[in-house]
A and B are shown apart, each in its own frame.
Chain A
Amino acid sequence: MSGALTRFLDGDVWHCFKRSPLAMASALVAFICVFCAAFAGLVAPHNPTDLASLELADALVPPAWLPEGQAKYLLGTDAQGRDILSALMYGTRISLLVGMASVLVSMVVGVGLGLVAGFVGGRTDAFIMRVCDVMLSFPAILVALLVDGVGRALFPTAHDTLAFVVLIVAISLTGWVQYARTVRGSTLVERNKEYVLAARVIGVTPLRIMRRHVLPNVLGPVTVLATIQVASAILIEATLSFLGVGMPVTSPSLGTLIRVGNDFLLSGEWWITIFPGAVLVMIALSVNLLGDWLRDALNPRLR
């Protein structure tokens, strides 16, 4: 492990990172968001999920730097007296969890199917690729809406955790296609390389060849894809929540917060919706920039 770490720190990727202020800034922003989200319980000044601690009298307080603001509520409060800053942290946690979980599911399914398609070839390959083509012709949001609707219809009473799972399924249902195609392309290239042929001549079973030889060599582009897809997964989740079919108000994600705050926008309490929106943009942007930088850093020709 330490050998791998020293190799990484000596390597070109880390060196590129140190020299790119944009990469370092995005990484910092992303890190702060993830940190706050992960340790929201410790970092947040208030606990918005604890209904007992809310004070209705403190509802709709503007941000601290405005004349009517209070230092206690740095970014103001919403209609129920929930501190916006704390709600942001808890909301970010939900958004990030959904985003990363759906990317993980997409990755496992997509990489697996891509490997099989590329390695086995023939009709299996053709079939999987046609499924990909079909999946791509559906807009992600519509598929997510469909799955969500079906989920609610099937389980009308169960909420929160089920909403979570349904959301992940909805997003990953269209997300895996990218991985499958990328990995299939790389597998087709690696499959004909002589080290794979050598393994076949030795007598290694196809499954083991796929897992031990081909997989480590096709994961490069997958890392970049996963990073960028986290951002888009978060955005899709936010859209769904904004439309009302995502996370419920009891455990709101950033999208839910935006929706809830939207009603107050025109009556002057802009902070309830603007701050969640700003954080959403910040996360998506920093993760995207990081992903872009990673793609260039891993491409030896651009260095």
Chain B
Amino acid sequence: MSALREATPMTALVEVRNLAKTFDVSAPWLNRVIERRPRQWVHAVDGVSFNIERGTTLALVGESGCGKSTVARLLVGLHKPTAGEVRFDGQGIAHTLAGPQALALRRRMQMIFQDPYASLNPRWKVRDIVGEPLSEHRLVRDESELKDRVVELLRSVGLVAADMDKFAHQFSGGQRQRVSIARALATQPEFLVCDEPTSALDVSVQAQVLNIMKELQRSRGLTYLFISHNLAVVRHVSDRVGVMYLGCLVELADKATLFAQPRHPYTRMLLDAIPDIAMSGRSRTPVQGEVPNPLSPPTGCSFHPRCPHANERCRQERPALLEIQGVRVACHAVQEGRL
């Protein structure tokens, strides 16, 4: 029989406990009064818990509306959580970010964004873009030291010193993403949150950027949270994978196990949906339906309308994320042994 137990907390670099974030998307007050509309909320993240060990990469995958980008932003303090907490190196970040130690904490965690065209200020030179964290955190004494560090950072991502005086629009998408990485590494952080860093890039450019990121992780012992919707990319970069659906974690396992033996029906569906380049002719169950509207999520388990194994319990009761044979799954069918 499967052993069901709550996972015990470990002292990892990043610990997330019951994180939740709700956005108020109600119409303006006047409209609500006149049109008699109720207040509306979107539970973008609805009770998510995981750990990330030092030097490893946790990938979060899911489709639109699953909340993975919101989790990324919560982890770097761009949003304040509605509930739950994020702990970095043992300390809750919400408290630290509001206090005098905020800058010191920010030095240790940075973020890389998805859109290479919007992540660099179009009016700034690369030298200023990459140098901003250095001057903001007062890590350099003078102009020439700043210049040296910027050159060093640019070289570490495969760019040249001459690129320092160029503007963002003079670079291609892949090169801009490298500038973003250089900027993120300026303060020598330990933890990097990567929000779909290669989704907007061509395949060959993506390969370059992913290789750089892996190399940097190896040489600097970085810890990554890697957000993506592309399972093939996730397979290449991650150590552990978490699958999200409508704000909840539905499966969390190490990479090999997840890809070899996916447990949750949604994970299986995602893996089946990946186009088959090798055309090995594996059997694929046809995919059903679409991600529901986050404003009115289904009752019980939010995946039940699309799940071929849903029963009455699934419609009523939301499954908890429980550990089964080393894998955390939120699914009644799996927990009951039906799957």
**A–B direct touch in complex (beta carbons closer than 8 A):** yes
A residues with a Cβ closer than 8 A to B are 193-195, 197-204, 213, 216-217
Chain B residues positioned under 8 Å from A195 (CB to CB): 118-122
Is the Cβ of A202 less than 8 Å from the Cβ of B113?
no
Distance of A196 Cα from B283 Cα, bound (Å)? 46
Is the Cβ of A203 less than 8 Å from the Cβ of B137?
yes
Given A202-B110, A204-B132, is A197 in contact with B121 using a C-beta cutoff of 8 Å?
Answer: no
Chain A residues positioned under 8 Å from B102 (CB to CB): 203
Q: Can you show 27 pairs from A to B with CB atoms below 8 A apart?
A: A193-B118, A193-B119, A194-B114, A194-B115, A194-B118, A194-B119, A195-B118, A195-B119, A195-B120, A195-B121, A197-B73, A197-B111, A197-B113, A198-B183, A201-B76, A201-B106, A201-B110, A202-B106, A202-B136, A202-B187, A203-B102, A203-B103, A203-B136, A203-B137, A213-B121, A217-B121, A217-B123
Q: Is B98 at the interface (CB under 8 A from chain A)?
A: no
Given A203-B102, A203-B103, A203-B106, is A198 in contact with B111 using a C-beta cutoff of 8 Å?
Answer: yes
Distance of A201 Cα from B133 Cα, bound (Å)? 10
Distance of A65 Cα from B76 Cα, bound (Å)? 77
Within 8 A of A (CB), among B64-123: 73, 76-78, 102-103, 106-107, 109-111, 113-115, 118-123
Q: Is B180 at the interface (CB under 8 A from chain A)?
A: yes
Distance of A198 Cα from B73 Cα, bound (Å)? 11
Q: Interface majority SS on A: helix, strand, loop or mixed?
A: helix
Distance of A213 Cα from B76 Cα, bound (Å)? 20
Chain B residues positioned under 8 Å from A202 (CB to CB): 106, 110, 132-133, 136-137, 183, 187
Is the Cβ of B111 less than 8 Å from the Cβ of A201?
yes
B74 to A: closest C-beta gap in Å: 12
**Interface size band for B:** 20 to 34
Distance of A203 Cα from B137 Cα, bound (Å)? 8
Is the Cβ of A197 less than 8 Å from the Cβ of B78?
yes
B199 to A: closest C-beta gap in Å: 13
Closest A residue to B76 by CB, please name it.
Answer: A201
Chain B residues positioned under 8 Å from A201 (CB to CB): 76-78, 106, 109-111
Distance of A193 Cα from B121 Cα, bound (Å)? 9
Distance of A195 Cα from B114 Cα, bound (Å)? 11
B130 to A: closest C-beta gap in Å: 11
Within 8 A of A (CB), among B155-196: 180, 183, 187
Distance of A217 Cα from B124 Cα, bound (Å)? 10
Chain A residues positioned under 8 Å from B76 (CB to CB): 201
Candidates A198, A203, A204, A217; contact of B113 at CB < 8 Å = A198
Candidates B77, B119, B122; contact of A198 at CB < 8 Å = B119
Distance of A194 Cα from B179 Cα, bound (Å)? 13
Is the Cβ of B122 less than 8 Å from the Cβ of A217?
yes
Chain B residues positioned under 8 Å from A203 (CB to CB): 102-103, 106-107, 133, 136-137
Distance of A195 Cα from B102 Cα, bound (Å)? 20
Closest A residue to B134 by CB, please name it.
Answer: A202
Chain A residues positioned under 8 Å from B132 (CB to CB): 199, 202, 204
Chain A residues positioned under 8 Å from B107 (CB to CB): 203
Distance of A3 Cα from B110 Cα, bound (Å)? 33
B18 to A: closest C-beta gap in Å: 23
Is the Cβ of A204 less than 8 Å from the Cβ of B136?
yes
Closest A residue to B112 by CB, please name it.
Answer: A198
Chain A residues positioned under 8 Å from B111 (CB to CB): 197-198, 201
Chain A residues positioned under 8 Å from B120 (CB to CB): 195
Identify the interface centre among B77, B107, B119: most chain A CB within 10 Å of its CB: B119
Chain A residues positioned under 8 Å from B113 (CB to CB): 194, 197-198
Distance of A113 Cα from B76 Cα, bound (Å)? 29
Distance of A204 Cα from B102 Cα, bound (Å)? 11
Closest A residue to B117 by CB, please name it.
Answer: A194
Distance of A194 Cα from B76 Cα, bound (Å)? 14
Closest A residue to B103 by CB, please name it.
Answer: A203
Question: Closest 9 CB pairs between A and B?
Answer: A203-B106, A194-B119, A194-B113, A216-B123, A195-B121, A194-B118, A193-B118, A202-B133, A201-B111
